[in-house]
Amino acid sequence: MTNGQNDHRLYPSQKLAAKIAAKTLHADPAQAAIAIRLDQLIDRLQTAALSHRQWPMVIRQILNKILGRKVGNLFAQMLPPAQAPVNGLYIYGGVGRGKTMLMDMFHEAVAAQGLDRPNLPAIWRLHFHDFMVLAQDVIHEARSKGADYPIEMAAANLARRGAVICFDEMEVRDIADAMILARLFSGMLKRGVIVVATSNRHADYLYKDGLHRDRFLPFIDLLKQRCEMCQLDDGTDWRGAVLADLPAWHVPAQTARPQLESAFDKLAGGAAITAETIRVAGRDITIARVAGDVGFASFASLCDVPLGARDYLAIAGRFAGLVLSDVPHFTDANENVARRFMWLIDALYDRGRFLIASADAEIGNLYEGHQWQFEFARTASRLGEMAKRGRMQDSG
């Protein structure tokens, strides 16, 4: 393990120990056990990269072209054998257990060490929903080019983007995704891609009771072959404990920024903070600050722009909850904005997400327009319930 002073280079177990020493986290044996497994994976990646003896497929193709297929294949058989693939990790467990935090520690360590250790492979991280949107785009592009095997071409394209891929919140909800995944992952894994994933459920329960699930089972078998199943045992729901101590509605908005910043920092749990773009039907939605599965956005960035109910469903599908700044007072002058806000709250509420917000008025006085009086009464009721409960039953 590195003993360098740069915190980004530390292994997950070292980062975890540092947070416990700084009293920003409580010691959790289950988290410590997963951190050690991630440390070991980093070591395996380093060893595999240093001793890697597999000849790239392009060299084999060149041999076939120059020497002919029969002679080329015969010569290829004399090349040093390919190494056994490095297996990844599939981390599953309950809400708020720190799965995303641990995966981000792993991602950060591999990415940072790779800056001056070229033997470490390229790594990329994204939410599983965003990966499926990207995959659909790449498959569509392959089809538009007339590819005979568009999913195979898409797998090759995605595999070139990094040898290690980190998925947050792996969840399969519809048959279209289920049918694509098996073929896409098979193509990526045979090209040596290593997967680290988080999920609320064991791989055996992915797409449970889904239509034609029998066709999805080979993917589950493949995932279990190429990823170690690591359960983050039930323990303290650290985020639930944090939410229980955080006021959810701050008035007035203009003086509440410090409280929102503090809430976001606590909910982030030490995860790296970046901007993120969510793509929905070809449209990009940018969340200014993202830490794991928590987003921080201004009201204007989400509701002063022409988004629809589908966009807000995508946001709710991506995050465990939002910190939202500067919710305005609603009148007849901003009815369209009020409507979008109602869609946002419906999406968050229905998925069991949490919301911490600053606003120009208390919840009961937030809407004084006429067109959406009846509808907004339900929104106000939901806001009140979310504020009391810190709703996030569905998140990972």
In this structure, are 140 and 167 located in the same domain? yes
Q: Are 37 and 127 found together in one domain?
A: yes
Q: What is the mean pLDDT of the chain?
A: 83
In 128-168 the beta strands, taken as DSSP E runs, fall at: 164-168
Q: 154 with 24, same domain? A: yes
Q: Please state the φ and ψ torsions of residue 219, each to the nearest 5 degrees.
A: -65, -45
Of the pLDDT bands very low, low, confident and very high (cuts 50, 70, 90), residue 383 is very high
Instruction: Assess if residue 176 is contained within a domain.
Output: yes
pLDDT confidence tier of residue 116, bands split at 50, 70 and 90: very low
The 10 Å Cβ neighbour count of residue 159 is 18
Most confident of 43-52, 55-64, 336-345, 349-358: 336-345
Residue 2 lies in a domain: no
The token duo for 157 is 């394209």
**309 domain-assigned:** yes
Kindly report, residue by residue over 149-172, the tens digit of the pLDDT: 999 999 999 988 888 999 988 988
**368/301 same-domain check:** yes
Q: What's the domain count of the chain? A: 2
What is the rounded distance in angstroms from the CA atom of residue 184 to the CA atom of residue 134? Answer: 12
Q: Is residue 1 part of a domain?
A: no
Structure tokens at 152: 């195979």
Reported as a single tens digit per residue, the pLDDT across 310-330 is 899 889 888 889 999 999 999
Q: Tell me, yes or no, whether 221 and 95 share the same domain.
A: yes
359 plus 263 within the same structural domain: yes
Q: Which domain holds residue 76?
A: 7-232
Tell me: do 36 and 121 sit in the same domain: yes
The residues, any chain, with a CB within 8 Å of residue 383's CB and separated by 6 or more, are 249, 345, 355, 363, 366
What confidence score (pLDDT) does residue 237 get?
66
Q: Please state whether beta strands 227-232 and 123-127 pair in parallel, antiparallel, or not at all (unpaired).
A: unpaired
How many CB atoms sit inside 10 A of residue 117's CB? 14
How far apart, in whole angstroms, are the C-alpha atoms of residue 3 and residue 22?
Answer: 18
Is the same domain home to 150 and 113? Answer: yes
Summarised one tens digit per residue, pLDDT across range 240-293 is: 778 888 899 999 999 999 999 999 998 887 777 889 988 887 788 999 999 888
Same domain, 44 and 148: yes
Question: 130 with 216, same domain?
Answer: yes
Two tokens, residue 285: 């939605």
Q: How far is it, in rounded angstroms, from Cα 299 to Cα 337?
A: 10
Could you tell me the CATH number of the domain that includes residue 312? 3.40.50
35 and 155 belong to one structural domain: yes
What are the strands of the beta sheet with 321-327, ordered from one edge?
249-250, 354-359, 321-327, 294-298, 283-291, 273-280
- In terms of domains, do 286 and 219 share one? no
200, 232, 264 - which closes a domain: 232
